[in-house]
Amino acid sequence: MTQRVLIIATNGFEQSELTGPRDRLRKDGYEVIVASPESGKIKGWDQDDWGDEVDVDLTLDEVSTGDYHALVLPGGQINPDILRINDTAVGLIREFANAGKPVAAICHAPWLLTEADLVRGKTVTSWPSVRRDLANAGANVVDREVVVDGNIITSRNPDDIPAFASAVNEALQKAAEPADA
């Protein structure tokens, strides 16, 4: 059975932080589904202006965490700021984490981990302007391209996408191993 990865995003996601991991994970053989509060299409932010649209496969209300093996949260300043006040999005993030599934957040997306109360006692990284929020929420904040602490995976910025996608891939491979391996 092909492992399934859910990406949660809304308008204003950082273009490369959705499409980079999505494309890499698809290339690696995973089925990747995009969910959003709204149906249809969502528009990315590409560095300093609006970017491309991405098709939404499901609305957040249609998502069941049991159908997925991992969650990816792209950053951008707008996207996580909107999603962190969406109770359904925050609830889904918490459900993935509580189920022990990989939850990967890049750039500003660790704001969502803070909102879901998932960083207390964890070592994480993020975009520089989010780091104080993470520390105030009880995280040990470091400046590395990717940090894996249990099932929480974080990265700093678009330059880190290769390491970020590799860490998600490794977590999915580890989760697929038989328990006695």
Sign of CA dihedral 151, 157, 159, 161: positive
How far is Cα 164 from Cα 133, in angstroms, rounded to an integer?
Answer: 21
Phi, psi of 40 (to 5 degrees): 95, -110
Domain residue spans of the chain = 4-176
pLDDT < 50 positions in the chain: none
Residue located via tokens 């994970």: 25
Does 108 qualify as catalytic in the annotation?
yes
Q: What is the pLDDT of residue 180?
A: 54
**CATH pick for 4-176 out of 3.40.50.880, 3.40.50.2020, 1.10.3720.10, 3.90.1580.10:** 3.40.50.880
Q: pLDDT by residue (tens digit) across 75-121?
A: 999 999 999 999 999 999 999 999 999 999 999 999 999 999 999 99
Contacts of 176-179 spanning 24+ positions with Cβ under 8 A: 176/3, 176/69
* pLDDT given for residue 177 in this prediction: 79
pLDDT of residue 108: 98
pTM of the predicted model, to two decimals?
0.97
DSSP 157: S
Task: State residue 176's pLDDT score.
Answer: 83
Whole-number Cα distances in Å, 108 to 62, 81, 157? 25, 8, 8
For the purposes of burial, counting CB atoms within 10 Å of the CB of 178, is it exposed (0-12), middle (13-18) or buried (19 or more)?
exposed
The residues, ordered by sequence, that sit 6+ positions from 101 with a Cβ below 8 Å of its Cβ are: 65, 68, 69, 70, 71, 151, 175
Position 179 scores a pLDDT of 62
Distance of CA 30 to the CA centre of its chain: 15
Q: Which one from 84, 101, 108, 122 is the annotated catalytic residue?
A: 108
Cα–Cα distance between 181 and 147 in angstroms, integer? Answer: 24
Tell whether the torsion through CA atoms of 175, 109, 44 and 92 is positive or negative. Answer: positive
